[in-house]
Structure 1
Amino acid sequence: MADRVSASISIGGVLSAGAYAELIEIIASEGLATEWDGEPFEPHHHVAGEPLRLFAHEVAGGSFDELESWCLSRRVPFVRWCGGYSGQWGPERVVATGDGNAASYTVTENDEVVVSRSRVESLGSLAAVIAFFDGAEFAVPPLMVSTSAADIPAIHGAGNVQ
């Protein structure tokens, strides 16, 4: 059995109705809830104008592999946090801004970004350190579902799925 920890994810961007239906299926397969120890997510739980925030305990490896891969391949922005597993890995925040890539940040169990001396030295300047922290603080945009292709900006924009 895989090592398991608590994890959460916030998802945003603009999705077509079809992409949202795919997302719902993946969320259901991951067993995610609308709050810690809450009821499983249902489509009507999505609050318009807000990112979709989902939670789970006992997450294998601390990541939502299928969901995160789906988001990355469709350039859907998200931020995922997971707790650490003693002797295996520490708490982590993964930030995907919608460009198809994700960056990992070391955090505390309270999701506060921390940086090592060697990282500070490699960044080289206070401005670079601040930029590093700014990257970790990415604000996930609201998740919007569009029924009109005209409402969805070009796929090259962050978090837009046709």
Structure 2
Amino acid sequence: MNAQDLIDTARMLVADYKGLLAMDESNPTCNKRFAKLGIPQTEEARRAYRELIITTPGLGEYISGAILYDETIRQQKQDGTLFVQAITDAGIIPGIKVDIGAKDMAGHPGEKITEGLDGLRDRLKEYFHKGARFAKWRAVITIGVGISQPGLYRG
């Protein structure tokens, strides 16, 4: 992707007062929600749930981009159509969450660190090949009394 493609994608994502659909929840998060409702915590149940979302009539009238999760970008509708294709056909730009989650930071109780830099270059290439045209990286930053704040000089 060249610089002009990035500019064009950014402009399309913010055009016409549309929003972004964040359907990038991890499998454990999705499974927790399903468990509370008595829904089986399976890949097929997650696939069917996501298909319901992406096939909502008129979705592209209100959504400019959809942030997907690693499992989601690989999934297909029941008829075999790739989710990315269905999203694109609806006029929505597919994106991908590229971090692999927030974990407890070693030696610093109460703080988190976002993981996923290792292997990121290869994942980005793969996701682009699968149709993603933008990426999301989530960082969790805990601020509070007694919690260190990287980058602040305390001398």
TM-score, normalized by length of structure 2? 0.26
Structure with greater helix percent? 2
Structure with greater strand percent? 1
Higher relative contact order (CA 8 A, sep 6+): 1
Bigger radius of gyration: 2
